[in-house]
C-alpha cells in the first residue's frame, strides 16, 4: 500500500503527496491504477527480444564466498528479470563464476568477462540492445571488478539507459557519489545501513534517524534528485520532490536475497514505466511509480510465501509467488 508520509503530530507536510492526493487510500488507488492501466505493456504488442534485461556485476568469486556471491546474483537475474516479464536476461560475471551460473538455468545468457581487462569494451558491445541495467547483488568489492563496473556505468549513462543500484553497487556509489549524481534514470535501493553510509558520504556527517522521510528527501536532492528507495519496515521512496511510503503487508520474516528480488523486478518495471512516460502515469514520476510497483510486489510475495512456510520461508519460496502475486495485484 502506498501512502504519503505524515510528519509526527499528524500534520501534513506542505506539498507532500498526501496533501496533493487528498488521502493515503486515494493515493494508493491512483498509483495502482496508473501502474495497471498505463505501465504494463500488452504482451500482444511485444516481439522476441523486446525488453532484454542485463544485470551487470552481480556474480563473481573475489572477496566473497563463492556460493554466497553466486546465489545473490542468480536470484536477481533469473527470478526477478525473467519471471517479471523480461524476454532475455544477460549475466556479466567473472570467469570463475560462469560455469556455476550457467548451471542454474538454460535461460540465462552468461558473459564471463567482468574480471577481464577489456570488460568495459565487452559490455559496451551489448549496450545498443540493453533496456535496463542492475548493478550490485553479488558484486563484492574487488578493486578490478569495481573499476570495471565504474566504466560500465559511465558507458551506460552515456546511452541514457536506466540503472538500478543495490548492495555492493551502493558501496561503490558511497565511495564516489559523483558517479551517479544527477543521472535521472538511476534508482538506488539501500537498506538502512547502506542508506546511512550514503548519507555520510554525501553530507560528511551522521544522519538524523528521527525523521527518515526528511532524510530520504534530502539525500535524493543532494544526489541530483535521483530516485532513492529505502528498504525497511515500510519502504520509503523519493525523487527529491516528494516521498511515498509503501506499506503493503509483508511479514516478520526478512529473507536473505529479498532485496535482490526488489532490484531485479525494479529493473524491468523502470523500463516499462519510462516507455509509458509521465503522461500515462497521471503526472507522477515514472521511476516513482515503478519503484512503488516493485516494492509492493516484493512485500506481497513475502506475505504470500510466509502464509505457507512461516519461519522457514526463503527467497526461493518468494520467487514461486511472483507470477500469481503480480496477477493479483496488477492484472485483476
What's the pLDDT tens digit per position in 134-185? 999 888 899 999 999 999 999 999 999 999 999 999 999 999 999 999 999 9
Question: In the prediction, which pLDDT does 67 show?
Answer: 32
User: Is the pLDDT assigned to residue 195 strictly greater than 90?
Assistant: yes
The CATH code of domain 59-66+84-330 reads: 3.40.1190.20
Q: What is the distance between the alpha carbons of residues 178 and 282, in angstroms, rounded to a whole number?
A: 31
Entry pTM: 0.83
Question: In the prediction, which pLDDT does 12 show?
Answer: 38
Question: In the prediction, which pLDDT does 75 show?
Answer: 47
Please state the rounded mean pLDDT for residues 73-95: 63
CA proximity to 317, closest of 246, 233, 251: 251
Lowest mean pLDDT segment, chosen from 33-37, 54-58, 106-110, 272-276: 54-58
Question: In the prediction, which pLDDT does 40 show?
Answer: 75
Q: What is the distance between the alpha carbons of residues 221 and 43, in angstroms, rounded to a whole number?
A: 36
Q: What is the distance between the alpha carbons of residues 194 and 232, in angstroms, rounded to a whole number?
A: 11
Q: pLDDT tens digit string along 199-232?
A: 999 999 999 889 999 999 999 999 999 999 999 9
Beta-ladder partners of 237:
229, 244
Sign of torsion, CA 306 308 312 313?
negative
Question: In the prediction, which pLDDT does 36 show?
Answer: 63
Q: 194-197 — which CB contacts under 8 Å span 24+ positions?
A: 194/167, 194/170, 195/219, 195/228, 195/230, 197/170, 197/171
User: Is the pLDDT assigned to residue 311 strictly greater than 70?
Assistant: yes
Q: What is the distance between the alpha carbons of residues 232 and 236, in angstroms, rounded to a whole number?
A: 8
Higher pLDDT pick, 139 / 303: 303
Q: What is the distance between the alpha carbons of residues 194 and 168, in angstroms, rounded to a whole number?
A: 9
Lowest mean pLDDT segment, chosen from 7-11, 18-22, 68-72: 18-22
User: What would the grid cell of residue 33 be?
Assistant: 491504477
Backbone angles phi, psi at 313, to 5 degrees: -60, 135
Question: In the prediction, which pLDDT does 53 show?
Answer: 54
Question: In the prediction, which pLDDT does 44 show?
Answer: 52
User: What would the grid cell of residue 54 be?
Assistant: 542485463
CA distance from start to end of the chain: 16
Amino acid at each position: 500500500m502506498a501512502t504519503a508520509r505524515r510528519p509526527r503530530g499528524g500534520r501534513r507536510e506542505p506539498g507532500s503527496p498526501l496533501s496533493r492526493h487528498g488521502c493515503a487510500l486515494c493515493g494508493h488507488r491512483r498509483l495502482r491504477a496508473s501502474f495497471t492501466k498505463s505501465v504494463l505493456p500488452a504482451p500482444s504488442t511485444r516481439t522476441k527480444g523486446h525488453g532484454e534485461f542485463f544485470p551487470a556485476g552481480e556474480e563473481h568469486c573475489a572477496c566473497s564466498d563463492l556460493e554466497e556471491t553466486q546465489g545473490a546474483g542468480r536470484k536477481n537475474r533469473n527470478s526477478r528479470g525473467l519471471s517479471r516479464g523480461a524476454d532475455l536476461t544477460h549475466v556479466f560475471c567473472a570467469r570463475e563464476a560462469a560455469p556455476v551460473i550457467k548451471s542454474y538455468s538454460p535461460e540465462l545468457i552468461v558473459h564471463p568477462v567482468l574480471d577481464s581487462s577489456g570488460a568495459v569494451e565487452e559490455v559496451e558491445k551489448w549496450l545498443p540492445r540493453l533496456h535496463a541495467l542492475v548493478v550490485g547483488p553479488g558484486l563484492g568489492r574487488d578493486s578490478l571488478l569495481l573499476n570495471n563496473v565504474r566504466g560500465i556505468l559511465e558507458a551506460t549513462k552515456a546511452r541514457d539507459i536506466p540503472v538500478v543500484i543495490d548492495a555492493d553497487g551502493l558501496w561503490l556509489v558511497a565511495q564516489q557519489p559523483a558517479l551517479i549524481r544527477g543521472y535521472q534514470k538511476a534508482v538506488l535501493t539501500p537498506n538502512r545501513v547502506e542508506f546511512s553510509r550514503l548519507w555520510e558520504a554525501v553530507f560528511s556527517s551522521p544522519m538524523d534517524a528521527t525523521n527518515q522521510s526528511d532524510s530520504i528527501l534530502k539525500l535524493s536532492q543532494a544526489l541530483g534528485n535521483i530516485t532513492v528507495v529505502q528498504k525497511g519496515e515500510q519502504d520509503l521512496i523519493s525523487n527529491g520532490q516528494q516521498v511515498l511510503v509503501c506499506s503493503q503487508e509483508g511479514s516478520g520474516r526478512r529473507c536473505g536475497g529479498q532485496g535482490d528480488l526488489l532490484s531485479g523486478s525494479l529493473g524491468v518495471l523502470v523500463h516499462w514505466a519510462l516507455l509509458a512516460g509521465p503522461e500515462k502515469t497521471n503526472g507522477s514520476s515514472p521511476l516513482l511509480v515503478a519503484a512503488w510497483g516493485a516494492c509492493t510486489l516484493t512485500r506481497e510475495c513475502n506475505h504470500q510465501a510466509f502464509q505457507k512456510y512461516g519461519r522457514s520461508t526463503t527467497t526461493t519460496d518468494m520467487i514461486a509467488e511472483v507470477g500469481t502475486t503480480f496477477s493479483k495485484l496488477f492484472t485483476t
